[in-house]
């Protein structure tokens, strides 16, 4: 066997093992009762419901990972255990949006053409299973991909004493990654939940959780592990 290849394999194994230990320790911090919030990103009908404009592109992976059931479980567990739920919505399209911008990006052009999450329409409403309740926070809408950029998300989290965020919703490789990475830069402890998000392609999910996620997130976990940690923290 090539010694260099063997060394690379050993390095990868060591790195994966170290990451798994780190993720377990990070979930222990959540279970220790730190101030944690679930950031529920873009739970719109256009994303999550039959008949939504974007649902057909998401459906295969959403069904594969059990997205809707896992989102329901995360939100319900958070509320049951006193973890605050924060809604982090994308800009709801309105006539004129982006049309006079100097350089809207590809995604923003698609929103402009498709009228994604249009204000005043069913597609721009939150999915019926993800409606804000008493004690939840709904922050300002984001125009790009990060829930923090040009919104009051950071301010709201600080005002509620939040130091740890669990980022769930859509899409794994865009708004979830951008929001999680920005949160880390602002000093928050970040947890991703690999089966409480989705993307258009398996390669996008792989990039979000196996390549990019470990460079900024403190933990990458599953819904079952997360809800068990919530319950342990409030036993």
* pLDDT tens for each residue of 136-181: 999 999 999 999 999 999 999 999 999 999 999 999 999 999 999 9
- What's residue 78's pLDDT? 96
Statement: residue 22 has pLDDT above 90 = no
- What's residue 141's pLDDT? 98
Torsion of CA 116, 143, 90, 140, to 10 degrees: -140
- What's residue 180's pLDDT? 99
Q: Where are the domains of the chain?
A: 3-233
Average pLDDT over residues 4-12: 47
Q: Measured in whole angstroms, how far is the alpha carbon of residue 89 from the centre of its chain?
A: 11
Average pLDDT over residues 115-131: 97
Can you tell me the distance from the alpha carbon of 123 to that of 15, in angstroms, rounded to the nearest whole number? Answer: 42
- What's residue 18's pLDDT? 59
Q: What are phi and psi of 29, to 5 degrees?
A: -65, -40
Statement: residue 226 has pLDDT above 80 = yes
pLDDT band at 24 (very low <50, low <70, confident <90, very high): low
In three-state secondary structure terms, 181 is: helix
Can you tell me the distance from the alpha carbon of 91 to that of 119, in angstroms, rounded to the nearest whole number? Answer: 9
Burial class (CB in 10 A: 0-12, 13-18, 19+), 1: exposed
Of 235 and 154, the structure prediction assigns the larger pLDDT to 154
May I ask the CATH class of domain 3-233?
A: alpha beta
Whole-structure pTM value: 0.89
Task: Say which range, 111-120, 179-188, 189-198, has the weakest mean pLDDT.
Answer: 111-120
- From 198, 178, 169, select the one nearest 86 (Cα to Cα): 169
- What's residue 1's pLDDT? 47
Can you tell me the distance from the alpha carbon of 116 to that of 62, in angstroms, rounded to the nearest whole number? Answer: 19
């Amino acid at each position: 066997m090539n010694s260099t290849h063997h060394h690379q394999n050993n390095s990868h194994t060591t790195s994966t093992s170290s990451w798994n230990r780190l993720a377990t320790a990070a979930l222990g911090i959540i279970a220790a009762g730190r101030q944690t919030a679930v950031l529920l990103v873009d739970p719109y009908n256009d994303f999550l419901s039959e008949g939504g404009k974007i649902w057909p592109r998401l459906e295969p992976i959403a069904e594969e990972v059990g997205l809707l059931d896992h989102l329901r479980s995360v939100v319900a567990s958070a509320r049951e255990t006193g973890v605050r739920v924060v809604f982090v919505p994308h800009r709801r399209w309105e006539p004129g949006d982006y049309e006079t911008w100097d350089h809207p990006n590809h995604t923003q052009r698609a929103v402009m053409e498709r009228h994604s999450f249009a204000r005043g329409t069913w597609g721009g409403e939150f999915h019926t299973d993800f409606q804000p309740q008493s004690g939840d926070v709904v922050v300002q809408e984001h125009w790009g991909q990060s829930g923090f950029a040009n919104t009051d998300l950071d301010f709201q989290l600080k005002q509620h004493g939040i130091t740890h965020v669990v980022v769930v919703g859509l899409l794994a490789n865009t708004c979830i990654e951008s929001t999680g990475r920005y949160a880390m830069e602002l000093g928050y402890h970040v947890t991703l939940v690999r089966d409480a998000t989705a993307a258009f392609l398996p390669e996008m999910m792989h990039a979000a959780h196996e390549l990019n996620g470990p460079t900024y997130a403190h933990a990458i976990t599953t819904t079952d592990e997360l809800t068990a940690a919530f319950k342990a923290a409030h036993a």
